[in-house]
Structure 1
Amino acid sequence: TKHAGWESDPENKYVKAFHEAVKDAVDPDITISGDLGGNDGFYFTTHGIPTICYGTLRDDNNYHGLNEFMHLEDFEKVKKVLIHFAEVCD
């Protein structure tokens, strides 16, 4: 089943906190964008739950295909962001 794209309110306090966590921990120039709907974010946002999609995606890691993998440095970045997010959230 195909779903419409989704987005969370960029002014939501958790979305803002996560954006700041990514900027502080990994990339000060990162921007927020929408998603095309190919993940569970569609279901959460449909019910008013703020949702963030962030991870280790790169062009070369063959996500959800044969020989799928992730770069360890990307795993470390995601870990760093999640720890920082947990520290700044109330």
Structure 2
Amino acid sequence: MNNTLKYWPIIIVAMATAIAWGSQQSDITNLKEVQIQQQLNINEFQNLSTRQARIDERTKAIKENQQRQEQLLQTILEKLQ
């Protein structure tokens, strides 16, 4: 009985170390998952930014075309008068 008691501190330390290591591994896994999700979010933001830039370019081209058409129409109306 006396021999068994002297090993309990070692057993407790070993168990605590194993629990801490397991917890650390869980934290590492969670961190990796968060990093993956962050990268996916960054990629999605970049895709949205690229799409927005294309939309802005199209909108600008449409407005310029509309202005040219209005000027052409104005010129035609002036010649008809």
Q: TM-score range by the shorter chain?
A: under 0.3
- Determine which structure has more spread, i.e. the larger CA radius of gyration: 2
Q: Which has the higher contact order (CA 8 A, sep 6+)?
A: 1
TM-score after normalising by structure 2: 0.25
